[in-house]
Chains A and B, each alone.
Chain A
Amino acid sequence: MKSILRIYIPFFPIIITTGGLIILQAMLQLELPKFMAQIINEGIVKQNQSVIYETGILMLLLSFLVATIAITVSFLASNISAKGAARLRASIFSKVSSFDSGEMELFTTASLITRATNDVLQVQNASLMILRMGFFAPAMGIGALIMAIRTSHDLTWTIVITLVSLLFFVFLSVALSMPKFRMLQKLMDRINLIISERLKGMLVIRAFLREKREEERFEEANKALMNTNLFVNRLMSLMMPVMSLIMSYGSVLIVYAGSKLIDVNKLAVGDMMAFIQYATHVVMSFLFLTMFFIMLPRAMVSAQRINEVLKMDLMITDLPEPEQNHLPLDTKGEVRFEKASFRYPDAEENVLSNISFKASPNTFTAIVGGTGSGKSTLVNLLPRFHDLTGGKILIDGVDIKTLSRNYLRDLISFVPQKNLLMKGTVLSNVTYTATSIDSHKLEEAITISQSKEFVDQKAEGVESPINQGGTNVSGGQRQRLSIARALYKDAPIYIFDDSFSALDFQTEAALREAFIKAKKGKTVFVVAQRISTVKNANQIIVLDEGKISGIGTHKELLKTCSVYRELVSSQLEGEGGEADGRS
């Protein structure tokens, strides 16, 4: 919890002020029944009109004061909760921005999104609740109890009885309903799962005539959901009447016991009525507190989840004084892997072991291998998305660990495996992070990436809007724009991490040709599935279970490397991983 609390520290003075005001508000509010008692005791019973007026005016003034304080409290509380949430959100965002691939994989993207959105909302709501109720309910409850005892300590036992019976009932219902509530969530998940499976498997279900069976499967889950829901809802529908019954019976008890006291002149009529009000306040604050403690654990879970992100130690850090000045701006881009190996923390085996090779400027280095052979990991080591656990990677002879990551990444044009576009326009995506727009470079990037045809077809050209995630362009177009983005950046080193999978062969060939023609002198890494992509590379690195099983050209490897031969024969140079636009 420490990291979260630290975010709220600057608010402590206002929080204390707010808390103080809330307690004051509660105290003043508790004075109101006293005035009422006075109106009845002194004014009505003793038939004194002026007491009624005077007390009435005092009462109005007091309630005006209460309202003013309450509004001030609302102002302060909304300030704290909104500002606190904004700070919380900002610190998660900054923290995640400082993450590299290791941390992202550890948490998973989906979970980080939930933490930064829903969990923050939970904490924000809770903070508001803590501020408003956390101060108010205890102050009110304790205050009302004191006032009640002061009004008539002979009647205090009635409050105790009411509270104890309420407490018993609330605990009973919570104990009964909690497991069912948890079950409800699971049943809801099951409904979700079945429906999404059915949507994904629509063709298969219909082709195999399994409609009836799927309906039955759903109905079964649906029935279980209904039955649990019925139980929970019915229990809940019992709760309110029973609680109000207990409270009403409490007031009857007070009247009965009170009248006996009045009979022996130990209590005034107005005081009895005030006492009923105080008792109601005590019970209500108690109920609020119970709710508070039922809701709080949920917020605590959210807070915990946020905290995990905030306190995460970064796996990769820059040296205190990175060596970026020692590397000349005109980096040649010669890359050397020297006995590089990588292992995930807590993993038993290396993902990559003992990788050594050299990639010179003006050459293509292709990396091939089966699934899980470590191809993608290998190229992800170069921009330090992961840090090596053994060996070295050198650029122009300088160990990349001595460079700052920002500087290092400026040297690399990277096309990731997933084609991730951002909300904006074609232009804003291609020129991502560029400080100024060079129309010549833009044209070149769009042409080489083979995006020109479809960009020109759009009415607004490069100003055409792109949805979040690029959902309004096809998979192939997304990939081409993602390539264009890297081309526009134009660093000495290029990495294509399986970046041609959504392109057909002709497009890919044209792209490769245009690239070679326009981008001379670059050091290029290409991770690929298809042999046709890598056939013409200057060197092909064949990975098998994280180790190099062969380096050479296509022809050499066909002769020397059995893993490569197997790969070639299994593919028969067919087209791989097609994404049919319609299915």
Chain B
Amino acid sequence: MAERSFQHEIGLLRLGEGETFRGEGILAVTKALLQSGVTYVGGYQGAPVSHLMDVLIDAEDLLGELGVHVEAATNEAGAAALLAASLAYPVRGAVTWKSVVGTNVASDALSNLASPGVIGGALIIIGEDYGDGASVIQERSHAFAMKSSLWLLDPRPHLPSIVHMVEKGFELSEASNTPVMVELRIKACHVTGSFKTKDNKAGAPLQAPAAFDYGRLSHPPSTFTHEAAKVEHRLPAARAFIREHRLNEVFPGTRSDVGIIVQGGLYNSLMRALAKLGLADALGNSQIPIYCLNVTWPLVPEEVSEFCAGKAAVLMVEEGTPEYLEQTLSLMMRQADIQTRLSGKDCLPQAGEYTADVLAAGLAKFLDSEPARQMAAVTETRRKTASALLDRDLPGRPPGFCTGCPERPVFSALKLAQKDIGQTHVAADIGCHSFGTLPPFSMGNSILGFGMSLASAAAISSVTGKRPVAVMGDGGFWHNGIISGVAGSLFNKGDGVLVILQNGYTSATGQQFMPSTLAEGHRNETPMDIEATLKVMGVKWLKKVRSYSVSTMRETLKEAIKGAGKGLRVIIADGECQLARQRRVKVEDAARLKAGERVVRVRYGVDDDICSGDHACIRLSGCPSLTIKPNPDPLRDDPVASVIQSCVGCGLCGEVAHAAALCPSFWRAEVIQNPSRFDLWLDGLRRRVIGWMQKGARA
């Protein structure tokens, strides 16, 4: 991976029997996979699970020793399809992606996998991108487990529990011939902790190709048999296994009248909420009994009955909407004729993350006790008092384009082009470039998924009568856009503009390599080329423009949007991800400097006495290194633009000042380090002549 080296993490993966692992949740999962003897691992990167694949791809030696195959899939559907190995062979394997979006993409393969079921343990590690810090639509992956009869584990956010559930997940999968999803919320992926490790197990030895078995195909009439097997054999087997191995936990309490059922992932927040209300201590001792669902699908009716029977009321703590678990519990209790009152979304909010504060308020409502209500009220008052400390909302600080990002100039150019030719429909996409939807650009009329921008623009010209502009990253192109977008548009003789931001990596998820990555040391010796691919596909109007050339890009965009004729027009905006580039260049430059070689450092700047403080340059850039500082002019007050030290010399500010004819305050300075004798001679000459001219002017 280009992001960084994972030598420390790989060291943790090598820990043996009885040693202590200290690190993040998602790395603990990775270690648990190796301890479980997986034969293959695959996935598609995305927060919060990118780390799993990043580390494994870097751990070539270790995986070679263990005989584990790693597949960096080009999308989640590809990753899901990898599990077919466990469909046909008794081998363990795992795949990972960001959910719910990744599960959406994978769902075709998942359904076809779940129908015949598996004979080797198959795990799907999903990073449930929900709540504070989530970057995708807020939906529940739970629905996929229910509809496809996959089992869903939701372990407590506690490293030993997580590792245990991964290991047990394989056994559950094998015992019930069903693929198992392990759901980890964002913070659980990044939670730190420790657990006692075991030795890694090697993958399965080579075996003979499987014999033909029509019954293993998701084809009729096998599919009818599969459907029956799901409910008649696999579900009972799974329930028996869950019960026998106590995958769910019951924490007893001193009260017998009420109980709480909680998704495992919410256990810690629930305990904090109870502690706030004085109903539990910091060591996990609670007055109210808790039934902790480390398996949220399927539910085990016997366990539910045992926990609920005899209580006056139970509360189901279930995050997100709809309340699948509450509905199922309600049905189970009705069928078992248990008269316990069931609460859930009547006390807790229908939507949003369940933090300890939210849960405390919900518990207060559920318990209907005065002290609890008062505690919850105090929290609410505190929130209001705190926000009243400022009379004006603080400006937000969402993530944005990095300093020197090659994608920012494309939006500068598009903004300038729109000024000349008027508003255009902009179909946005997933990736770093979705920051183009934020100020100062605020562009984008829809986001329909990863690599979907061009497809989402297909009907637009018939609505607006103008050619829409679809923006897509190279990551999105290979993930989906090449087929759904480009092939679809060509096939339908569509008319529109596609701007492909080619920066060489899937940058938003941590600069992973992808098919057209050109970076040194990349595994593919002949990387695929987007330009060549588009030509072969039959794109006639195709231009490649250096990202930072704002004027050229503006003119190219104008021509593409307004030009005569019909058909797909593709602009490849070419510029390497600056984060990846800086990581490389810094090391190279440092080595060359040390060797005494000539190195030119470029920085941009603003003459603070020429800048008039209008900030048009910032409205066309938004670069973190282009900021404002107090006006040094004793007669002016508006802050002036300023370029700070973090500038990497990408040149956008100069380009924009030029393209937009903004103002003459920008300069570009080249510092010549380890200058040659010619450099020094020229510099001396220039200084002398200029000094003479300056004196002359003053005289």
A in complex with B: no
A interface vs B, CB < 8 Å?
Answer: none
B interface vs A, CB < 8 Å?
Answer: none
